[in-house]
Each structure stands twice: as structure tokens, then as C-alpha cells.
Structure 1
Amino acid sequence: MSGRTQQGLALRQFRVGNRVGECPIWADARLTWIDVRAPALHALDPATGRLDTWTLPKPVGAHALCVDGSILLALRDELAILDPERASLCTVAAPEPDRPHNRLNEGRVSPCGAWFVFGSMDDSGAGRPTGQLHAWHPQRGSRVLLDGLHIANGFAWSGDGQTFHFSDSKAGVVYRARWQAQTGTLADIAPWVDADEQAGRPDGAFIDGHDNYWSAGVSAGCINVHAPGGERIRKLAVPCQAPSMVCPGPHGSVFVTSLVRPQWGPDDIRPEDGQLFQLLDLLASDAPPPVRLRLT
């Protein structure tokens, strides 16, 4: 389905009916993403409309593509490798055995392809700041990078791979830190951008070729674009009420996932909520191939 946003931007809408769409990745002419609460992993070929789905046994917070063709999943309380051909899962880590109320949320492969950085959040409804940032290496295991977050989100590296960005969605803060690739650790963590409910609390994000930070404003139905200095240079309205994550796509496009909040009643939900969108002709270049995780 084609159309335009309120600001006149051309878009395509894919009626996927997600509960909590998240973590889109464009690679090999198709988009993969997750539905946290279904729970499921999806793969869409926009050219043909073919949609493949893998039903998962637990809520899923992120996924990453691996060099060998497998897919790393951040399930509720574990990291697991999915063989997409056999639909088989193999657990590789259980990073938070002492926090049963948490679930894993958000994750990205580091620029060198050696680390999977992922986060967590309190999933009990109490909203406690028990979320963490972790880095997992296939040979060295998992380590905690930061504690005390409400909802770890918005992971993205600068173009030179030296600066890591992340957000706490509930607090409405985007942070920057110096990424140390050899050790898989962070240094000099500092607040970078504040965003309230009206501006759009920061959810999933990516960084473009000019080091601008594109962030889904999940509370305000928009995408916020911040220059490297932190100032907001664009605010793009989207058709859904709660955009959850953005990623670069082909031909300068940007994909947007969305969610339906569990507390919404039938009168609160719009037809666009929970759908997938492709905003056209926004970026100066095509999406670069995603970094894939090296398992060996």
C-alpha cells in the first residue's frame, strides 16, 4: 500500500499486524525484524511481498545476522542461535540469572563483528531501573557494561566505530560513550540528548552516513533526527502512534516498525498501529550491508 505522510513524504505500508515490531535489518534484498510479544522473527521481500515467519518460544528483544547464515536471538532470558533452515535453536548464554523479572531488549553487532551488544529491562510492569547493557563475544562470553537502566534502547555506532550511542527510553535520555573494541567495554559515558513525551521518547535508532542519529519517537508518533552535536535537525511525522525502531533500506529509504500498547482499547488503536512502513527517498545513499557477527 502506497501513500504519503502528513508532511508529504512518500511511503509504503506493509500490513503485518505486529504487537511490538522491533529491530529491523535490511540485508540481501529483504527486511528481517521481530515481534517481541508474538513472539516471532519475520523476513519480508518487499519486491514480491513474500513473508517468512519463525515462531519463537519466548519473547524476543533483538536479533542479529551471523556470518555463517544463522541468526542470533536475544530471547527473554537467553541468547540463542537460530538455524533458519531447520528452525532449530541452540542456547549460547544466559546473562542475567539473578534477574528473573528482566527480559532482554535491543541488540546490535559491533562494527568489528566480534561483539553483540545487548540490553535488558524490567518486564514485570513495576518499571524498576534493573536494566543492564551487556557485550557478548562467542569465545569470551558475556560481560556487563552498565547497570541501572529502565529500558535499554537506541543502540548505534558512529561512522568511525569509536562512539557508541544508546538510550534509556523511560528516562528519555540518549547517551554517548567511547567504545573500546578490543575489550568490548565502554568509557566516558555521558548524556547527549534529552527527549520528553511530547518530543518523542527515544526508542530504536540508527546513524546515517553523515553521523546523524535517527531515533524513533515512540511516545509522539515521529522520527527525530539529531546532528552529531546533539541538536535536532528534523522531526518526521509517521502514520502510526508508536514507532518503535528505524533502519536504513534500499534507494535512500528508511524502514519503521511500530507497536500497539497493551493498555490501548479498541477505540485507541488506529489501522496504522503495529504495521511496517518504508519512507522513501530520505537518505543520500543506500543502506550499507549490516555488520554480521563472527561466531568462530
Structure 2
Amino acid sequence: MLTLTATPVLDVEPAIHGEGPTWDAARRELVWVDIDAGQVRRATVSPAGVVAEVGIHPGGGTVGFVVPSSDGGWLLGADGGFTHLSADGAATVLLALEGEGPAAGTRMNDGAVDPAGRVLGGTMALDETPGAGSLYRVDLDGSVHVVLRDLTISNGIEWTADGRTVYLADSGAAEIRAHDYDIATGEFGGSRVFLDLSSDDGPPDGLTMDDEDHVWVALWGAGQVRRYSPAGELVAVVRVGAANTSSCAFAGPGLDHLVISTSTQGLDEAARAAQPDAGRLFVVRPGVTGRPAGVYRGPVDALHRAE
């Protein structure tokens, strides 16, 4: 098994609750969020893996994820719904989901774009109540549908290269499920447990996939990102100098650097002193390449909840 060590990015200020690094290929930029600060952050990544921040934009009270949009801006899962962030940094709420958001005790969490350009984003209860989370899909006509209910912490989501399987992590259940996926409709089919990490060092958080259809997943509380084969075999571990590893993505012009986000959430004063790099991005060159993030291809002026 391959073991690697990631390097902290010292020239970029740490986040409170860093999450969701995503490579925006059209802009040639890395975007990620600070959930608790309600911010979208942007940086360039050089061929050598040097990360240089170029912008910070407010996106809401909390921002769970950011994905590129075909208009040159971004779609966010923010507060209890979806928000558009324009290229000049203006945030516009597109849809507040009924039964979600701070008043309902929930917030948007992780999300990603499917091969057809739809966005799928999940929710979680602020107090992590089991079964309180859902997964939503934004279709290309702007309609928003419930895909799954009874999740606890809907987290990392990504598709295989052929688009026929989607992996979804539920951190509350400490498992990743592989679901059959219909690219034509965006519908989920049958599912199976791909990884059960309930007795491991930490639950699965954000995840990505490489060009060999291997899954890279951050383990919250474990200070690790792991690489698993399509058969579920552990083949590589990346050690990270912060316990709360929250997500990862391939970035840079060659998509050959793995950028890892981390968080200070839940760390007391002693833990923060012992982990001075908590909240920072980390970078490692793992020897494989990944894919750029999908691009949302639906409307950016309004969305509507499907009946």
C-alpha cells in the first residue's frame, strides 16, 4: 500500500470549516468554501502545486458547496437552498427550499455536478439528527427534486467515468453507497454499500475520483485521505497534519495535485495548539490524475421546486 504525506499551504489563511475543494477548469482556478464563515474562496494552482489565493466572496450565512456554472459564475448550496454567485462576486438566492435552512435547523452540505450538468446537493441537521438530511437534484430546466430522504449527513458525491454509478457518502451512517445512475433522467436506481467505515478511524466526508475510477475520500477526525479501488480495496493513504480532513479534489493545470481541505470545527484550545495547520489546505502529488469538476448547465436566474 502506498503512503504519502500532504504539505500544508502556508501562504493561504486557514478556514474555520474548510470544505469542498473543486477545480474550475474554465477559469483555471481552485474554489472551495468556508462553511461557517459563509465564504467562497478562490485560488490559482501552479504546475508545481503552489496555491495562491485570488479572492474571497460572501455566499450566505453558511455555504456547503460551490460548483462552476456555464455563465462563468458558480452555483452554491447555501443556507437552506441554492444561490448563484456571479463572476464579479454578487450572490443571488435562487431558491430557499421549504423545510430546510436555519429556521428548520438544517443547512446545505456537500454537492457536485453530474455528467449531464445537473447539480446534486444534500442537507444535514445542524445538530446532526439522524435521518434529517435529504439529497436534492437541480435539473437543466431549473426544477428541483428530492432524490433521497432519511440521510443524516449527506456528504461527498461523485460519478464513475461512464456516469452509470454515483457514490454518495453519509457521514452519519459512516458509509459510502454506490447507486446505479440514469444519466438521461438523473434518477437513482439500486444501491449497495461500497464502504462501511463505522468501525474505522473516522467517518467518510468529502470525496473525489481519479482517472482510474478509484475513490479518494477524506476521513473526518482521522487526519487522512484514502484511495480505494472500484472493488473497495484500500490502496493508498495520504497523511494530513490536521485531524478534521473534510474533502479533496484534483487540481492544477495537469490535474495531478490532490488538494485537501481541513477544518477547525470542534477543536478545543489544546487541540488547536497541537494542530496549528487545522483549517488550512494541504497538497500532495499522488502519482495519478483526476477530472475537472462538472459544470452546472441550468438557469442562474431562478429555480423552482418540482411538484
Q: Within 5 A, what are the aligned runs for 1:90-105?
A: 90-97=92-99, 100-105=104-109
Aligned counterpart for 2:139 among listed residues 137, 140, 151: 137
**Which one of 281, 292, 295 corresponds to residue 276 of structure 1?**
281
The residue number in structure 2 matching 1:22 is: 19
Aligned structure 1 segments of 4 or more residues deviating by more than 4 angstroms: none
Alignment equivalent of 2:58, drawn from 23, 47, 55: 55
TM-score w.r.t. the length of structure 1 is 0.90
Structure-2 separation of matches of 1:8 and 1:167: 23
Q: Secondary structure at the match of 2:271?
A: coil
Residue of 236, 239, 243 corresponding to 1:237: 239
Of 114, 124, 133, which residue of structure 2 is paired with 1:121?
124
Equivalent residue, structure 2, for 1:89:
91
CA change 1:101–1:193 in 2 (3 A) is same
Q: Percent identity?
A: 23
1:207 and 1:61 map into 2 onto residues whose CA distance is: 20
One-letter amino acid matched to 2:282: F
For the structure 1 residues 104 and 176, does the alpha-carbon distance in structure 2 shift closer, same or farther, using more than 3 Å as the test? same
Task: State the distance in 2 between where 1:40 and 1:284 align.
Answer: 30
Report the counterpart of residue 267 of structure 1 in structure 2: 270
Matches of 1:142 and 1:37, distance apart in 2: 25
In the alignment, the residues of structure 1 paired with residue 164 and residue 96 of structure 2 have an alpha-carbon distance, to the nearest angstrom, of 28
Residue 212 (structure 1) aligned to one of 214, 237, 245: 214
2-side partners of 1:67 and 1:179: how far apart?
A: 23
TM-score, reference length from structure 2:
0.87
1:141 is displaced (CA, Å) by 0.7
Alignment partner of 1:176 out of 178, 182, 188: 178
Q: Secondary structure at the match of 2:216?
A: strand
Deviation at 1:159, TM superposition (A): 1.1
Gaps of 5+ in 1: 1-6
Q: Residue 110 of structure 1 aligns to which amino acid in structure 2?
A: D
The whole-number CA distance in structure 2 between the counterparts of 1:148 and 1:79 is: 20
Report the CA distance between 1:190 and its aligned residue. Answer: 2.0
- Which digits, 9 at most, give the CA deviation of each residue in 1:15-74, with x for residues without a partner? 422111111112333211000001100001244724310023310111110111021011
Q: Distance in 2 between matches of 1:80 and 1:13?
A: 28
Partner of 1:224: 226
Opposite residue 56 of structure 2, the aligned amino acid is T
1:79 matched to which residue of 2? 82
Is the contact between residue 5 and residue 240 of structure 2 (CA under 8 Å) also seen in structure 1?
A: no
* 1:139-179 superposed Cα distances (whole Å, 9 cap, x missing partner): 15111111111100120101111100001112111001011
The change in CA–CA distance for 1:141 and 1:194 in structure 2 (over 3 A counts) is same
Post-superposition offset of 1:181? 2.0
What is the identity, as a one-letter code, of the residue corresponding to 1:254?
A: L
- Going from structure 1 to structure 2, the CA distance change for 1:134 and 1:10 (only over 3 Å counts) comes to closer
CA contact (8 A) 1:135 1:185 kept: no
1:268 counterpart SS class: helix
| Structure 2: distance between partners of 1:140 and 1:84 | 20
The counterpart of 1:13, out of the listed 9, 14, 30, is: 9
Q: CA deviation at 1:273?
A: 0.5
- What CA deviation, in whole Å up to 9, does each residue of 1:214-247 have, x standing for no partner? 0001121111111101122222211111110000
Answer whether contact 2:39 2:56 (CA < 8 A) is retained.
Answer: yes
Rate the CA distance shift 1:17–1:50 in 2: closer, same or farther, 3 A: closer
CA RMSD across the alignment? 1.9
Letter in 2 for 1:17: P
* Partner residue of 2:194 out of 182, 189, 192: 192
The answer to whether residue 294 in structure 2 is matched with residue 291 in structure 1 is yes
- Partner of 1:274: helix, strand, or coil? coil
Matched positions, count: 284
Are the equivalent residues in 1 in contact too, given 2:134–2:150 (CA < 8 A)? yes
Change (3 A) 1:95 1:179: farther
One-letter amino acid of the counterpart of residue 284, structure 2: L
Displacement after TM superposition at 1:129 (Å): 1.6
Q: Check the 8 A contact 1:197/1:220 in 2, yes or no.
A: no
Change beyond 3 A, Cα 1:161–1:172: same
- Residue 247 (1) aligns with residue 252 (2): no
The equivalent of 2:111 in structure 1 is 107
